[in-house]
Amino acid sequence: MKDLPKHPLITKPLWTNWITLTGLLIGGIALLLIVTFGLFSVVSPAANPYVDIVGYLILPGILSLGIFLMLAGILIRSIRRRRLDPSRRLRILPRVDFSDPLQIRVAKFLAVGLFTLLPIAAVTGYHGYHFTDSTDFCATTCHTVMRPEAVAYERSSHARVSCAECHIGTGASWFVKAKISGLRQVIATARESYSRPIPPAISELRPARDTCEECHWPQKFHGSQLKEFPHYASDEQNTDRTVTLLLKTGGGNEFLGQASGIHRHMALSGQIEYIATDPILQEIPWIIWTDDTGLEHIYRDDGRPASDPPPEGERRSIDCMDCHNRPAHEFISPQESINVAIANGKIDQTLPFIKRETVEALLPPYLQTEEANARIGERLSRFYREEHPELWKSRRAAIYQAIDTTREIYAVNVFPYMNVDWTTYPDNIGHLVSAGCFRCHDNQHVNQSGGTLDSSCELCHTFLNATEDGQEESLRTGEFRHEMSLDGVHTAVRCDQCHSGGASPQSDSCEGCHGLQQGLISATLPALESFAIEPDFMADIVACDDCHSTTEAHSRDVALASCSDCHDDDGTYEAMAVDNVETLADLRRQVLEQIDQSTDANWAERSRKLLTLLDEAGAHHNAEGSRQILEGLLEGQQPEQDS
């Protein structure tokens, strides 16, 4: 038989190298595990996000690594052969010859591998894509980092809307942008270099018309909403002072008439734009409304004419998120949480002072949730055991239920390890504990015609007040009835300037709200104990309204002018008051210089906090005591730790 000619390129197969064989082993194991994962997914009653991460992300990645190693090994072996024998050229295109048994075997292997891997790659890729858009992936994978947002989301009215529907939306461009940003966040999570708290997603969110308005249509909003806000006083009876009102939501509808109400901001045919000077959009000094005729109405709160250049900052168009900025991640204040719990019967309203005590139990800055649970239980138990011993014996179950409810409220609204509580992210819906509406509607934003953005209650609310017994109507509309009398200058005080979401004032007098000032006058502030100051010599002689007018805006001139109401002299006492203010200002400046030059970081921090306390209390309310404190700081005296 005639010998067959030897094929010049027949050698040991290219795949017989340790790199390719390693890749083959890795790919085979990954393929087996993917098939196993698929079977488990079919029979598993519920999805597990951590298992899904392995099945949809990690295992396909390992399979891809195996394929890469197989191809890399073949390529490296080919290059080595070329170097050992330059006469062996590498063909760019393969020579197909199905009469060659070797090529037939290779073709069969490739066909089986291709038709096995393609469906697996398609299925895992498809599910992997959707898994990275799922709520489980966003909220549970980064468990510690995103837990505050996840807990708030689960309690929100958007709990059935996935994270990606709002934070990414539809379209490939935003998907790619989100995933690139996500890589940075994954690295920050792995390195634990993320900020605490997580900053709000303001610049990363796409316009609301691409997300919110997929479900909510501003032009179809109309009418008013009946709202009932449960509120209980901090007195012994936990008096019910629920507020009922009609909220003028409004909107725009071509069949129902002109745009009106709160949603008029979105339904106007013109455009509203603004500039904020802070990253969380709370300080808004400049607003422009371009009406449907093209006329521009510019509102400013800095007193400058409309023709002046706008302040520095990004010019933003108002949309849903400028008011609804926490639609799925709201952290509720202790006041509101306890009010709702009492209204729902989770806390017994008949327990004396239960509103006051539960709110105050939620306020201390606990280091961790376990400590909060222990301290809340101790505080409430001790109060009823010591102040109401008979009640402690007869109604202990109701007290324990109040303790458990208070702990639950803390657990879903305060996260110490992420520095998150109800004050972390201002909520712009409303204006009770955050500026909200008053960021613009504060009567301080004036346009070129002298018009202002009104802040009157009736602009957005119609209050429904209960009438007295015996009258025919059970309700009447009217002004808001505040539980405290708000006269004179107090009528212009914003809600959030008094309402912090924490403890309520303990009395209807001035010191009920101005406790720091009264504490300095009477020298009873705990932070000042180490300085042993005396009460102001006028503490028991004059009342607050002897110097401060409730009908005029607060100013030094108004306060000084009141001196002559009691002192019939040539202005001696007025000059004495001015001298005290100037002396204290000079001492404060010296203390600040010493703080800046100090090498004792602990003393410097405490001293700076004490200066802030004196500023808030008004050092002139106890001039001699404040002078003693400032001189003590200049001598290096150590302030109290909790100042």
Task: Please check whether residue 556 is in contact with residue 547, taking contact to mean a CB–CB distance below 8 angstroms.
Answer: no
Structure tokens given for 303: 């007193």
User: How confident is the model over 236-264, as a mean pLDDT?
Assistant: 78
* pLDDT value of position 514: 81
Does 395 have pLDDT greater than 90?
Answer: yes
Identify the band that residue 553 occupies on the pLDDT scale cut at 50, 70 and 90: low
Does 11 have pLDDT greater than 70?
Answer: no
User: How confident is the model over 130-159, as a mean pLDDT?
Assistant: 80
* pLDDT value of position 209: 81
User: Would you list the DSSP string of 358-411?
Assistant: HHHHT-S--SSHHHHHHHHHHHHHHHHHHH-HHHHHH-HHHHHHHHHHHHHHHH
Does 333 have pLDDT greater than 60?
Answer: yes
Q: Give CA–CA dist 523/534, Å, rounded.
A: 6
* pLDDT value of position 276: 93
Q: Give CA–CA dist 169/210, Å, rounded.
A: 7
Task: Please check whether residue 634 is in contact with residue 591, taking contact to mean a CB–CB distance below 8 angstroms.
Answer: yes
Identify the band that residue 42 occupies on the pLDDT scale cut at 50, 70 and 90: low
Average pLDDT, the chain: 82
* pLDDT value of position 43: 62
Say which amino acid occupies 407.
R
221 or 638, which is more confident?
638
Among 158-172, 551-565, 572-586, where is mean pLDDT lowest?
A: 551-565
Share of the chain above pLDDT 70, in %: 84
User: How confident is the model over 125-141, as a mean pLDDT?
Assistant: 72
Does 337 have pLDDT greater than 90?
Answer: yes
pLDDT in tens, 226-245: 889 999 999 999 999 888 88
- The SS3 call for residue 105 is helix
Does 91 have pLDDT greater than 60?
Answer: no
pLDDT in tens, 404-420: 999 999 999 999 999 99
Buried b / exposed e over 209-227, threshold 16 CB at 10 Å, is: ebbbeeeeebeebbebeee
* pLDDT value of position 575: 78
Share of the chain above pLDDT 90, in %: 26
Residue corresponding to tokens 């488990």: 40
Does 345 have pLDDT greater than 50?
Answer: yes
* pLDDT value of position 113: 75
* pLDDT value of position 86: 65
pLDDT in tens, 567-617: 766 667 777 778 888 888 898 999 899 988 888 888 888 888 888 888 888
* pLDDT value of position 581: 84
Does 421 have pLDDT greater than 50?
Answer: yes
First to last CA, the chain: 107
Q: Give CA–CA dist 336/235, Å, rounded.
A: 16
Does 1 have pLDDT greater than 50?
Answer: no
Q: Which secondary-structure segment (H or E) carries 396?
A: helix 396-413
Does 330 have pLDDT greater than 50?
Answer: yes
504 or 624, which is more confident?
624
Q: Give CA–CA dist 236/64, Å, rounded.
A: 68
Burial class (CB in 10 A: 0-12, 13-18, 19+), 586: exposed
User: How confident is the model over 78-90, as a mean pLDDT?
Assistant: 69
User: How confident is the model over 271-290, as a mean pLDDT?
Assistant: 92
Q: Which residues contact 23 (CB under 8 A, 6 or more apart)?
A: 65, 66, 67, 68, 69, 70, 71, 72, 73
Name the DSSP letter for residue 293: T
User: How confident is the model over 482-488, as a mean pLDDT?
Assistant: 74
Does 9 have pLDDT greater than 50?
Answer: no
- The SS3 call for residue 605 is helix
**Half-sphere exposure of residue 464: CA atoms within 13 angstroms, side-chain side:** 15
Does 174 have pLDDT greater than 90?
Answer: no
Say which amino acid occupies 483.
E
pLDDT in tens, 429-476: 989 999 999 999 998 999 988 889 988 888 888 888 765 554 555 556
pTM: 0.73
